[in-house]
Structure 1
């Protein structure tokens, strides 16, 4: 999968996802540090990337626009994990999440599981 890692996560997340065989870039690689969330969404959609972030504002923006892309993986509740552990959790569940993310979804990791909502949000 192709990922865009938001600035609230370590660039190490992008590095580890790339090492695992995915195409992952951090917002700093795109000179988009401090860019508005709407810009991050536009960049992700243009490149067919799934955003990985701890920022729940993406859900509100997607709902307001009734958008079907980009997909977002929210890791706010597991943000305290070190990048290798966070990436391991994402990769462990990617086989189940991938079909949803490919068709447009928000997946939120919690301490007890994952919630997935299809886009557009209602």
Structure 2
């Protein structure tokens, strides 16, 4: 299966660009939905279209969201866009089928 990554508004759109450059299917929330979309709208959109959500927003760690869509979460807001994209790519490399993702994947633990 192919990963589809929906990058949340709190993450630079550049991350979606970098992921696409690495051959992954990725969209930024600002491209897919209206600016200011609610967390629920993001989760619904992602779930209906088979996306995992990449975010720095810990609201997405609530079980009401993680039951619906896999979350790729990073807590370190000092990570640059390249590091975030590299960590997502590493997850994809080691877990090639998105159906095998746990409800939350903490990108802080995925380091070279």
The alignment of Structure 1 onto Structure 2 pairs a total of residues equal to 107
TM-score by length of 1: 0.77
- Structure 1 CA distance for aligned equivalents of residues 85 and 106 of structure 2: 14
The unaligned stretches of length 5 or more in structure 2 are none
Tell whether 2:104 aligns with 1:102.
Answer: no
Superposed displacement of residue 81, structure 1: 1.8
Tell whether 2:72 aligns with 1:73.
Answer: yes
**Quick one: which of 57, 60, 81 aligns to 1:58?**
60
**Quick one: which of 13, 25, 28 aligns to 1:26?**
28
- Structure 1 CA distance for aligned equivalents of residues 103 and 95 of structure 2: 9
- Relative distance call for 1:86 and 1:66 in structure 2 (3 A) is closer
What is the Cα-based RMSD across aligned positions, in Å?
1.9
The structure with the largest strand share of the pair is: 1
The unaligned stretches of length 5 or more in structure 1 are 115-122
Contact 2:7 2:13 in 1 (8 A): yes
SS at match of 1:35: coil
Moved more, 43-52 or 79-88: 79-88
Which 4+ residue blocks in structure 1 deviate beyond 6 angstroms?
A: none
Q: Deviations over 1:59-81 (max 9, x none)?
A: 21xx14772x311100122x312
Contact 1:32 1:40 in 2 (8 A): no
**Quick one: which of 90, 93, 101 aligns to 1:92?**
90
Contact 2:7 2:54 in 1 (8 A): yes
